[in-house]
């Protein structure tokens, strides 16, 4: 019969030996895995060096190079796609985009992207979306719009980036309707609107007429892509009972430009109680050199709350001689008003 302490020692020895074997085995497995990855990366770099001259020649319009690319086995098509797409991320050169799109279609790479769009791996879906956007494959606009509902936030972000690159007017309703979707990145939504430009304006106006609840978002959108056509609508919204909508309407007017009626509204709003409204009204007057006592009224705001004071100072700087005279007078004032006036005059001198 084995003595108790001896038995425990044998068990401990077996456990230690097993642990050592396990650790050694894991270390060997890690080394093997790293070796395989290194070999794979080396092979990939070799293939990239091999295909790059062909891709560059095909982009220059060499039909022989395109034929050689078409003859490359399908398993290497992803590498070719990488060589085609990656440069577009940095420069988005229109000529290169057109050449890349032709090559992608000639090599039947769009179906490969379709496969990635349906992948269970989110990064593959995001990669496919960005590629489709970069080559401006407008026949896949519906797929990009559908990806705005993807469960992964990075995929939704990639879909917005792709729609920004795509610039397909067919995506306007989806982009405008999704302005209220808090699951989407606000900055990327704004970028998509800016890329689509003034073509969004009619649909925005139509939606605003039937959806008063989201008028704030529509006003902010018109501050990105609106034109003078939206001026009457924005002027009407400056009378909205909600201060945030009123402020956004003046922000929109700052973008589309003022006429005499709109300028009068902005000047009157400089006396409003709400800080955001005064700040955006001051912003809207930037560059205004028409009738009204805008410069004098702006001068009174130079010691107001910071957002109001800064916008007032910048608008005065943009008003030419009239604004310069007011700033010269205000430069002698103490506190924030004098500091801002002197800063604007200094910036004006530097630019001159």
Residue with tokens 């969004």: 200
Distances 36 to 32, 126, 228, 303, 306 between C-alpha atoms, Å: 6, 27, 62, 67, 60
| The pLDDT of residue 93 | 77
The per-residue pLDDT for range 266-293, each reduced to its tens digit, is 999 999 999 999 999 999 999 999 998 9
**What is the CA 163 to chain-centroid distance, rounded?**
10
For residue 43, the model assigns a pLDDT of: 61
CB distance 252 to 234 below 8 Å = yes
From the list 224, 225, 227, 248, the residue with the least C-alpha distance to 236 is 248
**Once rounded to an integer, what is the mean pLDDT over residues 18-36?**
69
Comparing CA positions, the residue from 165, 215, 155, 213 lying closest to residue 185 is 155
Check pLDDT > 90 for residue 218. yes
Average pLDDT over residues 2-17: 63
Kindly state the average pLDDT of the residues 334-348. Answer: 89
pLDDT computed for residue 37 by the predictor: 58
The per-residue b/e assignment along 319-345, b for 16 or more CB within 10 angstroms, e otherwise, is: beeebbebbeebbebeebbebbbbbbb
CA distance 283 to 278: 9
- Residue closest to 177 by CA, chosen among 166, 331, 163: 163
Q: How far apart are CA 36 and CA 77, in angstroms?
A: 21
DSSP state of 263: H
Whether the CB-CB separation of 286 and 256 falls below 8 Å is answered with no
Number of H helices, E strands in the chain: 20, 0
Query: What mean pLDDT, rounded, does the chain reach?
Result: 87
Write out the H or E segment, with its range, that includes residue 261: helix 260-269
SS (H, E, C) 70-93: HHCCHHHHHHHHHHHHHHHHHHCC
Q: Please give the model's pTM, rounded to 2 decimal places.
A: 0.78
Q: What is the pLDDT of residues 308-325, one digit of tens each?
A: 999 999 999 999 899 999
Query: Using CA atoms, how far apart are residues 45 and 79, in angstroms rounded to an integer?
Result: 10
Phi, psi angles (nearest 5°) of residue 92: 50, 40
pLDDT in tens, 59-117: 888 888 888 888 877 777 777 877 888 777 777 778 778 888 888 888 788 888 888 89
Helices 4-59 and 77-91 meet at what angle, rounded to 10?
Answer: 70
For 188-209, the pLDDT digits (tens) are 999 999 999 999 999 999 999 9
Instruction: Say which residues have a Cβ less than 8 Å from residue 121's Cβ, sequence separation at least 6.
Output: none
Residue indicated by tokens 């302005």? 179
| First-to-last C-alpha distance (Å) of the chain | 103
Mean pLDDT of 1-6: 54
């Amino acid at each position: 019969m084995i003595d108790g302490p001896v038995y425990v020692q044998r068990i401990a020895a077996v456990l230690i030996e097993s642990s050592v074997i396990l650790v050694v085995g894991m270390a060997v497995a890690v080394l093997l895995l790293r070796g395989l990855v290194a070999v794979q990366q080396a092979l990939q770099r070799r293939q990239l060096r091999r295909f790059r001259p062909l891709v560059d020649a095909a982009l220059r319009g060499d039909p022989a190079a395109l034929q050689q690319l078409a003859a490359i086995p399908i398993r290497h098509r992803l590498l070719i796609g990488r060589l085609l797409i990656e440069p577009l991320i940095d420069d988005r050169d229109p000529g290169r985009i057109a050449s890349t799109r032709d090559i992608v279609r000639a090599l039947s790479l769009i179906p490969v992207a379709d496969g990635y769009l349906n992948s269970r791996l989110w990064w593959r879906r995001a990669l496919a979306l960005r590629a489709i956007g970069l080559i401006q494959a407008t026949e896949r606009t519906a797929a990009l719009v559908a990806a705005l509902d993807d469960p992964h936030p990075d995929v939704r972000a990639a879909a917005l980036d792709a729609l920004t690159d795509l610039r397909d007017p067919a995506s306007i309703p989806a982009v405008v309707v999704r302005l209220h979707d808090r699951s989407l990145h606000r900055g990327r939504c704004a970028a998509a609107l800016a890329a689509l430009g003034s073509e969004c304006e009619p649909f925005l106006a139509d939606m605003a007429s039937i959806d008063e609840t989201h008028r704030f978002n529509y006003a902010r959108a018109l501050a990105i892509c609106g034109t003078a056509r939206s001026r009457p609508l924005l002027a009407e919204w400056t009378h909205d009972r909600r201060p945030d909508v009123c402020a956004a309407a003046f922000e929109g007017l700052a973008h589309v430009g003022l006429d005499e009626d709109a300028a009068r509204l902005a000047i009157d709003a400089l006396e409003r109680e709400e800080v955001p409204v005064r700040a955006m009204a001051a912003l809207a007057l930037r560059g205004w050199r028409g009738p009204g006592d805008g410069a004098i009224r702006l001068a009174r705001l130079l010691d107001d709350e910071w957002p109001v004071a800064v916008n007032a100072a910048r608008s005065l700087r943009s008003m030419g001689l009239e604004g310069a005279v007011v700033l010269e007078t205000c430069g002698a004032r103490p506190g924030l008003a004098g500091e801002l006036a002197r800063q604007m005059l200094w910036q004006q001198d530097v630019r001159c």
